[in-house]
Structure 1
Amino acid sequence: MDAVKTSTLSKRWRHLWALVPDLQFSCSDFPKRSVFMEFVRRACALRDGSFIRAFSLSCDDVIGSVSYIKKLITSFVATCGVGDLRLFLGNLGRAYKLPSSIFTCGALETLHVQSHCTVRLPSSLRLSSLKVLDLKGVTFEDNALMEKLFSSPSLEKLGIWDCKWRECKSVGIFAPKLRHLSIRNLPGRRNNFSYPRQVHINGDCLEYFHCWGMLNHEYCIQGGTAQLVEAKLMIFPCRRRDGIVMARNSKLLPLVSNVKELTLFNTLLKDVAKRNDVQPPFRNLIKLTLVGEIHSVAVKGLFVILRRSPRLQSLHCEEELRYHRVNGVHGLLNPLPSCFLTELKEISVFVGCRNCPKKQLFMALIFLERAVALEKLNVQLKG
């Protein structure tokens, strides 16, 4: 955008504008939406079909301009062969259809869409160069074609955030080069990805697996997971009481048992405590991060994982860790996790200074007493 502004300062610079390969427009730099959209229109008219490497458009209110934006995107994709396309569009009035020409652009390498729109894919996808795909808040109209999109031959990074799906029993993500997968379906969001279904994932090259939301569906990572380095399982409690959710929890941890870095929400720790016999060994785990307040039952689940993590070096609790002496420590420390003796060198815990700090300091004292390999204990006060 700065390059467009400088083109108005001198006639000598006017034609240099056409050489700028990256265009980034944000409405936050303008007092009114109408002024912003007129600026975008004039700036893009100056390009006159010249090459564009990257195009980014961010506007939180595009009511009345959707038709123009669709034409603009189609024009860029068709005539300029854009390689990096990013759309962050809000307050659209009602959902619109994302131009299908986007998905026939062989030059496209990166696509980010954060918008209340529907995605109707053409029957002939041509995305041989697509490496990064990030979709937020979109509605998928054809599950079979979306599965084809998620299986693009060059795709390495995929993010599916708070999206809507037509009802289907399974979703396939089979990109042969997929390295990084993020899926989020937070409670309270207007999406239906949380409807029960199976999610099948090709794990041959998967290095990072991040999952946020309700565990109403079952994940299945196919192939080997030897490349998996990091997993974040931010699973929130479900209201179902028929045991199905717990069974899915017990199937989820074995999928990531090879990771070196693992982040868990406290709900999973509670299920671990109840299903001690089904938890896998985490032989490669070096760093464990816990999210959410860890109370007595969850603490027991934590020690189940600690006993199965012989190489663990770092334990980080992002919120309060509570366990009181009246609950006893024999079940926690018998047997003592082997990492306490040889590997566990750093522990971070939070203590709420207004809410029973003695109960929280109790666990810190246990770590100091029993983790003989410990080199650093961080105790942070939380007001």
Structure 2
Amino acid sequence: MTNSKRCKYHDRLSQLPDALIFEMFRLMPMTDVVRTSVLSKRWRNLWANTPFLNFDNDTMLFDDDRLRKFVDRALSLWKGTRVLKFKFQASRRVAGDDSIYSDVDSWVSFAETRGVEELYLCLDWDCSYSVPQCLYSCSSLKALKLLDCNLKIFGNVQWNQLDSLSLCLRMVNGHTINQILSGSPRLRVFILGCIDIDGNLSIQSNSLKQLGILNLRGSEDYAVSELRICTPNLKILELRGVVNLYAKCLLMNVSSLSHATLGLHGIDSHEYGLFSGKALSQILPTIQHVEDVILSDWSAKGLRAMKMDSSFPNVKSLELRCCSYDYKHVVGVLQIFPKLERLVLKYHKGDGHHQDQRESLNLPESFVYS
């Protein structure tokens, strides 16, 4: 490339507005953001003003010591006025030495004191890290995602601006969930994925529009006897791998619900048969007004239970995902969906891969099958 062409190329980069450059930085790990300093003279220190700090070690591929030094160095050189998004994701390449916890605390505090709006924290090791208490009083937060962390709240939660919350944890206390919801008056989206719940789980919120409760398997030490959902303005509900764990599964005041996804893992198993039967009898009547339904990981027993106990007079769109040897049972339950306009049927052969199955079904001509 000639010098004139190179200069022209650099001039075009220099003419880009900061807002556009920072939007590009939003999508890049900090290692690549720092490297942009060689592109033009104007860009030399621009990276140090970006409001988007993305320390994703799955991309950067640092070992433990190098990761710490890089994050510390980048934050010490940062000259911005506000952090809009802060992401720290470790990886299994990081040894998980407890000494890094104090570093993570200081990085979270750095973001909190600079009015962070989006925070993503994933430690990806033994789940023994507890997020610092300063995070619970971060009133600037609008979106928060925590993976493989512990939640220990001493005091009140003050997430007055929080709109979206995603938690993927090893264990959580039911009381902790109550503290979070009571301290998040504007929360619209809540996704909870957890193996063990200590205590009953109660979801009560007037602001929630979307709720997902995923992969709750439970254990002998942390048995849950009740799941209670009271969300009068909820539009979207997803329950996966959860229903068969509860002696009581109560959906109360979900009159605004328009889309429901139920995934009842292990519904045919001997161990969970009793719980799943109770859950079905409690859940299905409460979602009969829903127009858009997805039933995932259902088996013949679940489909037969639907046929006996349920009617869905308002469902217009239905998606069924079940085992290949159960899909023919679908035909027998279509009569409980009198207003059905759209049917999607997917089955898997046991390897987790879903396929469409159409040719074996004799559907009424009025159905729009997609």
Length-normalised TM-score, structure 1: 0.75
Match of 2:316 in 1: 286
Cα 1:48–1:274 shift into 2, 3 Å: closer
Contact persistence 1:134–1:159 (CA under 8 A)? yes
SS of the residue aligned with 1:72?
helix
Match of 1:232 in 2: 261
Contact persistence 1:185–1:191 (CA under 8 A)? no
| Separation in structure 1 between the aligned mates of residue 50 and residue 220 of structure 2, nearest angstrom | 41
SS of the residue aligned with 2:232?
coil
SS of the residue aligned with 1:134?
strand
Q: Measure how far apart 1:284 and its partner are.
A: 2.3
Cα 1:248–1:139 shift into 2, 3 Å: closer
Within-5 A mapping of 1:247-286: 247-265=278-296, 267=298, 270-274=301-305, 276-279=307-310, 281-286=311-316
Within-5 A mapping of 1:7-18: 7=37, 13-18=43-48
Match of 2:54 in 1: 24
Match of 2:337 in 1: 309
2:86 alignment partner, one of 47, 55, 71: 55
Cα 1:145–1:216 shift into 2, 3 Å: closer
Contact persistence 1:18–1:47 (CA under 8 A)? yes
Q: Measure how far apart 1:130 and its partner are.
A: 1.0
1:4 alignment partner, one of 26, 29, 34: 34
Aligned length: 325
Q: Measure how far apart 1:303 and its partner are.
A: 4.3
| Separation in structure 2 between the aligned mates of residue 146 and residue 68 of structure 1, nearest angstrom | 26
SS of the residue aligned with 2:150?
strand
Q: Measure how far apart 1:48 and its partner are.
A: 5.1
Q: Which runs of 5+ in 2 are unaligned?
A: 1-29, 350-354
| Separation in structure 2 between the aligned mates of residue 241 and residue 44 of structure 1, nearest angstrom | 50
Alignment-mate amino acid for residue 372 of structure 1? E
SS of the residue aligned with 1:96?
coil
Superposed CA deviations along residues 143-170 of structure 1, whole A, max 9, x for unmatched, are 324212124211111111124332x2x2
Contact persistence 1:266–1:294 (CA under 8 A)? no
Match of 1:329 in 2: none
SS of the residue aligned with 1:123?
coil
Q: Root-mean-square deviation (CA), in Å? A: 3.0
Cα 1:98–1:266 shift into 2, 3 Å: closer
Determine whether 1:81 maps to 2:115: yes
Match of 2:151 in 1: 119
Determine whether 1:38 maps to 2:69: yes
1:160 alignment partner, one of 183, 188, 192: 192
Contact persistence 2:206–2:232 (CA under 8 A)? yes
Cα 1:163–1:85 shift into 2, 3 Å: farther
| Separation in structure 1 between the aligned mates of residue 62 and residue 167 of structure 2, nearest angstrom | 27
Match of 1:246 in 2: 277
Q: Measure how far apart 1:126 and its partner are.
A: 0.9
Q: Percent identity?
A: 22
Determine whether 1:72 maps to 2:107: yes
| Separation in structure 1 between the aligned mates of residue 167 and residue 177 of structure 2, nearest angstrom | 12
SS of the residue aligned with 2:70?
helix
Cα 1:69–1:224 shift into 2, 3 Å: closer
| Separation in structure 1 between the aligned mates of residue 356 and residue 44 of structure 2, nearest angstrom | 58
| Separation in structure 2 between the aligned mates of residue 229 and residue 90 of structure 1, nearest angstrom | 35
Match of 1:216 in 2: 245
Q: Measure how far apart 1:76 and its partner are.
A: 1.7
Match of 1:354 in 2: none
Cα 1:310–1:243 shift into 2, 3 Å: same
Match of 2:366 in 1: 373
Alignment-mate amino acid for residue 114 of structure 2? C
Match of 1:338 in 2: none
